Structure 1
Amino acid sequence: MVYAFIIHTVSPGTCRIIYSSSFGQEIQIIDTQRENDPAKHGSDLRTERKQNLHRVAQLVQSEFAFRRVVTGKTLDDDLLKLNNEGTLPEFELGYIRLPVDEPFQNEKIVVWMAAVNCGFTMICEKNENRSLAENVLKLLIRYLQEHLRILNQPTEAMTKVDKIAVVLDIFLPSGQLLFMNRRLVRQFEKDLELISKG
């Protein structure tokens, strides 16, 4: 199960969350916290959730910056490939383990990919299949780029949250990671094309 999916900036400076979505168990946790601490209002819990997601995005931004220094790759390298060749740039891929209470109540695993100034981050339950999460993340990036040109203009995606949600609903329904063969992916592509035209 995926706890949350985030799209955020990764360039040096302020890390901005472009899009975020939390799934199933988030509602259960909020309800439990309300029962255990009636003084905590829903708005407080939403603020806390946003802060937690932002902390994760900052961790990914920091890890991405470190890798870029080590590999010597630059933003210009990514943009050249994206603009001239029309292909996706080479993404950095990473995993981060989040211990209990740092910042979530339970241990989580973060699977992330980033290039240009765009990070795509999944916060997963600790026992989730990382290879499967990575494969689903690659598909999400591919179709977000195809339908929204998200790598070319990441901040414009903030005005297209409905379209992001459609891609997410198809390839990550309710936060569930699905094993997808080519036939299923092709069916999802058709579904996406129909929705995009409609």
Structure 2
Amino acid sequence: MVYGFIIHTLGPGPNGSPKLSQVLYSRIFSCDLPDDKLQSEEYGLDKVRLRRKERVAIVARQTESMCLLRRQVSGKPASDYSVHLTDESILLQEEDVGVYSLGSGDPFPHEKIVLWVAVFSFGFSLICNVQENLTLAESTLRMLVKYLVESTKLLTHSSNILLRADMIEMSIDKFMPQGQLLFLNHQAVQALEKELSGSMTL
């Protein structure tokens, strides 16, 4: 089961502002029982939620660091990674996809694997438990990112991530119901996308 999914920024904020790795959206599918349960009983739910928010921010910053390093090594100019106003389908490059591990206690109680995809100045991080099928996780992440970018018109209307949280939630529920990864062939993906399109026009 997938632990969580995050959408965040990569690099400087709008107009070159210094704010880095701003979390735009996050979804946690499961908790690290019994750790989270014990913490909620001892410290209260508000503090547990704050701790989860901090963990999400740590993942966003780590993904940002990994992505920016990969891009720097690629030797491509920074302008190649600026958002381009286009409705064309995205084409991911080698430096746009990566994976890294987080050891126990750093920041989660148990070890996690994070797969990430970068689309210009946006990052998408999928937090997985160590026993997860990483090949399937990467395939699902790529499909989900492609669909979200195109359906929310992210590259032409970047604020849609904040304005269309309902669309993002609905899309995640279809591609990863309750955090479960699905084996989807091309026809199944098309059927899901058609179903989502129909639901969003209601």
Map residues 60-75 of structure 1 onto 2, 5 A cutoff: 60-75=63-78
Following the alignment from structure 1 to structure 2, what is the Cα–Cα distance between the partners of residues 30 and 84?
43
Unpaired runs of 5+ residues, structure 1, are: none
Q: Which moved more, 1:182-191 or 1:93-102?
A: 182-191
Identity, % of aligned positions: 34
Partner of 2:26: 20
Residues 1:118 and 2:129 aligned together: no
Q: 1:197 to 1:22 in 2, by over 3 A?
A: same
Q: Is the 8 A contact 2:4 2:30 kept in 1?
A: no
Following the alignment from structure 2 to structure 1, what is the Cα–Cα distance between the partners of residues 195 and 35?
32
Q: What's the secondary structure of 2:49's corresponding residue?
A: helix
Count, aligned residues: 194
Partner of 2:15: none
Unpaired runs of 5+ residues, structure 2, are: 13-17
Q: What's the Cα RMSD here?
A: 2.0
Q: Is the 8 A contact 2:115 2:125 kept in 1?
A: yes
Following the alignment from structure 1 to structure 2, what is the Cα–Cα distance between the partners of residues 138 and 103?
25
Following the alignment from structure 1 to structure 2, what is the Cα–Cα distance between the partners of residues 186 and 25?
31
Q: Deviations over 1:149-180 (max 9, x none)?
A: 22444344112111110111110111111111
Q: What's the secondary structure of 2:21's corresponding residue?
A: coil
Map residues 14-163 of structure 1 onto 2, 5 A cutoff: 14-25=20-31, 29-35=35-41, 37=42, 40-78=43-81, 83=85, 86-91=88-93, 92-163=96-167
Read off the aligned partner of 1:7 and give its amino acid letter: I
Partner of 1:189: 193
Following the alignment from structure 2 to structure 1, what is the Cα–Cα distance between the partners of residues 185 and 72?
36
1:75 Cα shift? 4.6
1:187 Cα shift? 1.8
1:182 Cα shift? 2.0
Following the alignment from structure 2 to structure 1, what is the Cα–Cα distance between the partners of residues 172 and 86?
28
Q: Which moved more, 1:151-160 or 1:41-50?
A: 151-160
Q: Is the 8 A contact 1:4 1:20 kept in 2?
A: yes
Q: Deviations over 1:116-146 (max 9, x none)?
A: 1000000000111111111101111111112
Partner of 1:5: 5
Q: Which moved more, 1:96-105 or 1:21-30?
A: 21-30
Following the alignment from structure 1 to structure 2, what is the Cα–Cα distance between the partners of residues 135 and 41?
37
TM-score, with normalisation over the residues of structure 1?
A: 0.89
